Amino acid sequence: MKIFFHTRRLLTLAGIGFGIGSVIVVATARPADAARQPGDVPGQESFPLESPIANPLIKRMQLALRKAGYYKGPIDGRINGQTETAIRTYQRRENMAIDGIVTEQLVGRLESSVKVRALLQQLHRQRLLKMESARNALLRSPKTRRLLADRQRPRDAADPTRDPAPCFAAPTPQCLLAEASESARAVFKDELRYWALSEILVAETKAGLVDRAMDTVRRIEDPRLMIVALRDIAEAQAGSGRPAEALAAADIIPDPLKRAEALAAIATIQATASGTAGNRTGALRTVKLLLEILPAINAPLKRVALQARGAIIQSRTGEIDAAAQTLADAKNKADRLRDRKARSVGLRHVAEALAETGHPGQALEILKNLPEQSEHTPVLVSAAAAQAKAGHADLALVTAETIEIVRYRAVVLGRIAVAQATAGEMAAAERTIEKALKAIKLIKLPFARAYAHERMARALISIARLQDGETGKNTFRRAIASAGRIDDNMLRAKTLWAITDAQRRSGDITAANKTGTLAETETTSIRSKLTRVWMFCNIATDRKAAAAPGLAARAFDRALTLAEGIANPWARARALAYLASTQVDLSASD
């Protein structure tokens, strides 16, 4: 039923009420609260403004209009001039038909926008509070206070007269980073500029330009991101083989969580470095620092996750008993978490750590008590991978079959097949590959299916390298077929380049050239030059690791040429930073 509320006083003519003036139509499913007057349109009700009857829909509309800032009148459920003006203003600003018709749909839309606006305002307030907290944390330490100096100075503009040609002709990490920094100055959107600067400072740190990296931190005006940048600097120093400097950098991070994350990254790098006594001792010292700082972190779930990570590092350094004790304590903390979801996530971190430290059976025992089904899959994946790595392929297959999410099951089956082939069980590996391929066919989501095909192609590459003659060639051809089923063109191109390089290393140059032609075709289909720069930098790093420096240099040169043609400042800054980082990696001694 529709109720007509007139915005001007009704005139009474010959005893019959007729509305004169503008009209607001209110659609409602409720019956009218007053009797119908003679002469009304059938199925409709007319009320003067001063009618004592309040309509609930109008009241909701007025309340939503007030919250949205359109209306300041009374919330009485009665139409007035202010209400009508507010409705029409809202409709105009939302590019809607300005008809003054109030429906349940219109009120619901306005109420939804009010809720979204309130949520955004709440997030903005939280963001400001976190920024202020981060700023205060930086100010409390003399070592970081200087990062906030000169905050009011105008942002430096890019130099349009600079000539980048000499750098592209004879690139060095220093000149590439200088060019990246200049390009970042031309990025006017804050979040994009900070994104580029965060990647630049990591590359600067890898290149040994720590002072310049700290200057780059100053250009990030968000104190929260500055603290993250300090963590990234510490991690980059550790990754560059400078653990002492990394620990010193971590020491100045004022936020306990970010400092702990940096310490965990440093310890992981130390533990996975060449197995010298010094690295082992250093990793254990860093883990000790990590565990000592955990009580200062005001996030119980983060504490459990970092403690589990510390146990993994202890295990890698041979401290098996210490790792077991650390994990037992982490499990007790996870068990005490009150929130069901948080407890499940915490126990999942512990279970994954158990699997990674060589105890998949204990991990699966924890799985039985995980309250959230969504946390089961990561544990099953970790347990199956650990079982396969330990040479228990049969157990791994049993575990893999219990993974309900098919995209994860397919990837795990590929890993198991590689473990079987490595152990010389080629027939078993073939059967597992077939199971994986059948699983991939069941994947619905395109991106998940693309990832599974890429992982399958990588698994087939690994198996082909273990085979001889025509058998290996056939397996490479199967890898190419899997790569051809990848929907994402960058992932497809990168996978084909990996197959090309593997075929070349196996001595099959003819096949490598054919696959390389396919890879070239797919590469040209990648529209983003930044994506292509990223891909060729990754290829260069992979080739360096495979002891093919000449091919690595060729990939780097292709990335360099692509970067030179990037006009967008944000993309150019990121591309140049990644090039500088890659050049550092390529120049590092093995």
Tokens representing 412? Answer: 């795990």
Residue 475 pLDDT greater than 90, yes or no = yes
Q: Given pLDDT bands bounded at 50, 70 and 90, which one contains residue 274?
A: low
Q: Which residues pair with 18 in a beta bridge?
A: 11
Q: State residue 132's pLDDT score.
A: 81
| Separation CA 285–CA 555 (nearest Å) | 39
Q: Span 548-564, mean pLDDT?
A: 96
CATH: 1.10.101.10, 1.20.1630.10, 3.40.50.11240, 1.20.910.10. Which one for 2-116?
A: 1.10.101.10
Residue 152 pLDDT greater than 70, yes or no = no
Angle at 40 between CA 37 and CA 45, to 5 degrees: 75
Q: Which of 46, 38, 32 shows the shortest CA–CA distance to 14?
A: 38
Q: State residue 20's pLDDT score.
A: 34
Q: State residue 11's pLDDT score.
A: 32
Reduced to 3 states (helix: H, G, I; strand: E, B; else coil), residue 24 is: strand
Q: State residue 154's pLDDT score.
A: 56
Residue 71 pLDDT greater than 60, yes or no = yes
Q: State residue 36's pLDDT score.
A: 36
| Separation CA 173–CA 579 (nearest Å) | 8
Provide the percentage of residues in the chain whose pLDDT is more than 90.
Answer: 63
Residue 22 pLDDT greater than 80, yes or no = no
> Cα 315 vs. chain centroid, distance in angstroms?
28
Q: Tell me if 59 sits within 8 A of 76, measured CB to CB.
A: yes
| Separation CA 558–CA 537 (nearest Å) | 9
Residue 136 pLDDT greater than 90, yes or no = no
Q: Span 180-195, mean pLDDT?
A: 93
Q: State residue 161's pLDDT score.
A: 75
Q: Span 46-66, mean pLDDT?
A: 72
Q: Span 500-507, mean pLDDT?
A: 95
Q: Span 173-190, mean pLDDT?
A: 94
Tokens representing 174? Answer: 């220093």
Residue 496 pLDDT greater than 90, yes or no = yes
Per residue in 344-393, pLDDT (tens digit) is 999 999 999 999 999 999 999 988 877 777 788 999 999 999 999 889 99
| Separation CA 134–CA 89 (nearest Å) | 40
Q: Which of 104, 95, 49 shows the shortest CA–CA distance to 73?
A: 49
| Separation CA 459–CA 491 (nearest Å) | 15
Q: State residue 4's pLDDT score.
A: 38
Distances (CA, A) of 429 to 100, 107, 154: 70, 61, 63
| Separation CA 380–CA 370 (nearest Å) | 12
Q: Which residues pair with 23 in a beta bridge?
A: 6
Q: State residue 31's pLDDT score.
A: 40
Q: Tell me if 229 sits within 8 A of 220, measured CB to CB.
A: yes
User: Which position has the higher pLDDT, 1 or 326?
Assistant: 326
Q: State residue 94's pLDDT score.
A: 86
Angle at 536 between CA 531 and CA 542, to 5 degrees: 130
Q: State residue 375's pLDDT score.
A: 84
Q: Tell me if 200 sits within 8 A of 183, measured CB to CB.
A: no
Q: State residue 151's pLDDT score.
A: 52
Distances (CA, A) of 514 to 472, 495, 503, 511: 16, 14, 10, 5
For 433, list phi and psi in degrees, rounded to 5.
-60, -45
| Separation CA 567–CA 261 (nearest Å) | 36
| Separation CA 529–CA 538 (nearest Å) | 14
Mean pLDDT of the chain: 86
Residue 9 pLDDT greater than 80, yes or no = no
Per residue in 284-328, pLDDT (tens digit) is 999 999 999 999 999 999 999 999 999 999 999 999 999 999 999
Tokens representing 152? Answer: 């009011």
Q: State residue 250's pLDDT score.
A: 93
User: Which position has the higher pLDDT, 117 or 187?
Assistant: 187
Q: Span 218-245, mean pLDDT?
A: 91
Q: State residue 277's pLDDT score.
A: 57
Lowest mean pLDDT among 97-111, 373-387, 431-445: 97-111
| Separation CA 453–CA 439 (nearest Å) | 11
Q: Given pLDDT bands bounded at 50, 70 and 90, which one contains residue 120?
A: confident
User: Which position has the higher pLDDT, 47 or 345?
Assistant: 345
Q: State residue 579's pLDDT score.
A: 98
Q: Kindly report the number of other CB atoms within 10 A of residue 205's CB atom.
A: 30
Q: Given pLDDT bands bounded at 50, 70 and 90, which one contains residue 505?
A: very high
Residue 224 pLDDT greater than 80, yes or no = yes
Q: State residue 46's pLDDT score.
A: 38
Q: State residue 300's pLDDT score.
A: 94
Residue 576 pLDDT greater than 60, yes or no = yes
Q: State residue 434's pLDDT score.
A: 96
What residues does each domain of the chain span? Answer: 2-116, 173-220+527-590, 222-298
Q: Span 264-292, mean pLDDT?
A: 85
Residue 159 pLDDT greater than 80, yes or no = no
Residue 572 pLDDT greater than 50, yes or no = yes
Q: State residue 155's pLDDT score.
A: 61
